[in-house]
Each structure stands twice: as C-alpha cells, then as structure tokens.
Amino acid sequence: MIDFRSDTVTKPTASMREAMQNAVVGDDVYGDDPTINKLEAYAATLTGKDAALFVPSGTMGNQIAIMTHTKRGDEIIVGANSHIKNYEVGAAAVLSGVSYHLVPETRGMLNLDGVKQGIRGQDIHYPDTGLICIENAHGTGVVGSLEWMQAIHETAQANRIPVHLDGARVFNAAVHLNVEVKTMLKYTDSAMFCLSKGLASPIGSMLVGEKAFIERARKMRKLLGGGMRQVGVLGAPGFIALESMRRRLKDDHTNADYLAQELDKIDSFTVNGDARDINMVFVTTTLDQEKLADYLRTHDIIISASRGETMRFVCHNDIQKESIDKLIDAIHRYIKKEAHHD
C-alpha cells in the first residue's frame, strides 16, 4: 500500500525494529529507563532546552504543556486554524479548564496585532492570559518565519506570558527555514515535537522546556495516565528518528515538490502553491474525491478524501518518486475510465 494520507502512517524502519528488540529498558516512572533517559537528554541538547519529556502522542504533549503553564479559568491565545484548537477534542477546556482566545493566522502565523489585542490585561471581568500557543510548521503546510516567532516572543515576554510551540513538524520547518531547531526554539518557552510523523518512529513525541517546567510536566503526564514503564522499546526508535531520520526530511520536501508539479499538470487538479513549504501538497479538484479514493485503493494507493473541498497529500519515508509516478498514472487511468462512462 502506498499511503498519502499523512506522515503519521510511516512504518518503523528495519534499524528501528532492531533497536526496539535490543533496547535496554527499566521502569521509566522511577526514572530508571536508560534508553528514555538518553533520548530525553539528546532531545534537550538538540533543541537547546534544559530538559525533555517523552510522551505518548503530540496531543498529550500539547495538553501537558497547557496544563503545566496555566491555571484553571485562564484564557489561552491560540490560532483559529490551529491543531490545539481544532483537532484535540477541545481537551484544553476539559483538562486544563481554560478558554480559547482565537486569533487569525496569515500563512500559519498568528496575527501579531491580534495577539496584542488578545492580551486583555487586568480587569475584574477578564480571565488571565495564561499562555500563547503557536504552531510551526503549521498544519496548513506553511512555515512561519523566525522574525514572526521573535515578534510573538517579545510581546509575550513584555507581558510575562509564556509561549508554547506546537512543533509537531518543527524539524520540517527547520529544513524549510534552513536553520537549526534550537534557533527556532530560542523564541519559545516550551515546545512539543513528534517522533512519529516524518521522523518515522512508531509512537511518541517530546516536550521540551526549562528544568522546573519539565519536572511539573512529568507529574501532569502521570496524572493523565501517561507515565509508562519499560518504554525504552519506544525510546530506541525515537532516538534513531531524532538522530538520523531528521537528516532525510529534505527528501520528503523534494518529493512533495515533484508531486505538486505532476498534479498541477492534470486539468482537474489545482495545487495551492501558497501552501508548499514542507512535505504536504494541498489541492482542490473537480473530481469526485470519494470515487477517486475508492478507485485508487483497488490499486493499492490510499489517499484521504475527507477534507471537504481541499485534499491533502503527504510525502514521507515510505513514499519514493516511483510511488508518486504510480499515483499520477493511476489518476490518469481513473480520469480516462470516467470519461468512457460518460
């Protein structure tokens, strides 16, 4: 199966499976898992933060960050199109008891004036602003600039509000910006990034930040039931993801460029050229998405047809240039077949 739905679908590589088999493990709730300790130390060094915490998912990482930074009744400033707002089941309201102050994004970047207006200051009627959340790379396939991150951070610091980065794909963003992740993270107090997306580890994300923040976050992870035992079996592929798989993300971006170029040649597809910074290609199509997806599945190709007008194709470690050629060829055959039916 060639699966274009997301980079979350990546299977662990052979060396990851071998590392899982041979992982030295211990009880991580006691802090006794050497493989997790090594992964957390490496993640902290790589991101220029004091400490790191391995968490089961990106969603849990973001939610632990919100729980740790805020108190009940706070308001968090967050993008109207962000994952934290739209795709985390409203968890911040449920788990942290915070409300969302939505700010529009332009190319994935929170509007600075909107953030400034969103910090409402002191009044007996107002909730306190507990946190500003940004997302980079943004789920809409775009990467925000360092200058924008710096401007948000300066505003936040001037108001003594922490900034959390949902950096599920921060390594993709760093590749696009041609900087190190630690350069981006200078402008955030905490960040979550996923090992299980383009980095191809089967499970897990990291939360990074100051030592005291991570200590409190570790307790929040336990509260949520995310304290795991011999979890080095997941830390071992996670280390390979961080140490070596991040170096190949550029290939996914190049493949996505190729996919965008080939889809754009087909009359029934229009590529959104403004959302072409990372490993994702967003298109609109005049074709019936469900029928196309059903046809492709019979040719061992999976695409997602559930995003309304817009379709998303994602390149990753299990997609090569030949996989893209197969997809394009199958789409041509589908269009020909449909024309015969008419």
Binding residues for ligand TLP, per CB under 6 A? Answer: 6, 8, 57-59, 83, 87, 135, 139, 166, 168, 194, 196, 205
Tokens 């959390």, residue located: 164
- Residues 194 and 43: beta-carbon distance below 8 Å: no
Sign of the CA dihedral running 31, 35, 37, 43: negative
In terms of CB distance, is 60 or 260 closer to ligand TLP?
60
In terms of CB distance, is 57 or 96 closer to ligand TLP?
57
In terms of CB distance, is 135 or 189 closer to ligand TLP?
135
In terms of CB distance, is 10 or 196 closer to ligand TLP?
196
Cα Rg of the chain, angstroms: 21
CB 206 to ligand TLP: min, Å:
11
Q: How far apart are the first and last CA of the chain?
A: 30
CB 176 to ligand TLP: min, Å:
15
In terms of CB distance, is 129 or 196 closer to ligand TLP?
196
Q: Are strands 75-79 and 129-135 parallel, antiparallel or unpaired?
A: parallel
DSSP-assigned letter for residue 93: I
In terms of CB distance, is 139 or 334 closer to ligand TLP?
139
CB 67 to ligand TLP: min, Å:
15
CB 265 to ligand TLP: min, Å:
26
| Spatial distance between the Cα atoms of 130 and 101, rounded to a whole number of angstroms | 11
CB 110 to ligand TLP: min, Å:
14
Torsion of CA 216, 219, 224, 230, to 10 degrees: 130
In terms of CB distance, is 83 or 246 closer to ligand TLP?
83
In terms of CB distance, is 58 or 209 closer to ligand TLP?
58
CB 181 to ligand TLP: min, Å:
15
Whole-number Cα distances in Å, 155 to 126, 165, 287: 19, 15, 45
Q: Which two three-digit tokens encode residue 248?
A: 């190949």
CB 58 to ligand TLP: min, Å:
2
CB 86 to ligand TLP: min, Å:
9
In terms of CB distance, is 136 or 334 closer to ligand TLP?
136
Taken as a whole, the chain contains a residue count of 342
Q: By Cβ distance, which residue is nearest to ligand TLP? A: 58
Whole-number Cα distances in Å, 339 to 42, 119, 285, 286, 334: 55, 56, 16, 13, 9
| Spatial distance between the Cα atoms of 171 and 137, rounded to a whole number of angstroms | 8
CB 112 to ligand TLP: min, Å:
20
| Spatial distance between the Cα atoms of 245 and 258, rounded to a whole number of angstroms | 21
Using CB atoms within 10 Å of the CB of residue 124, give its burial: 0 to 12 exposed, 13 to 18 middle, 19+ buried. exposed
Where helices occur in the chain by DSSP H, the ranges are: 14-22, 34-47, 58-69, 83-86, 91, 112-118, 146-158, 170-177, 181-185, 211-223, 232-243, 249-264, 289-297, 321-341
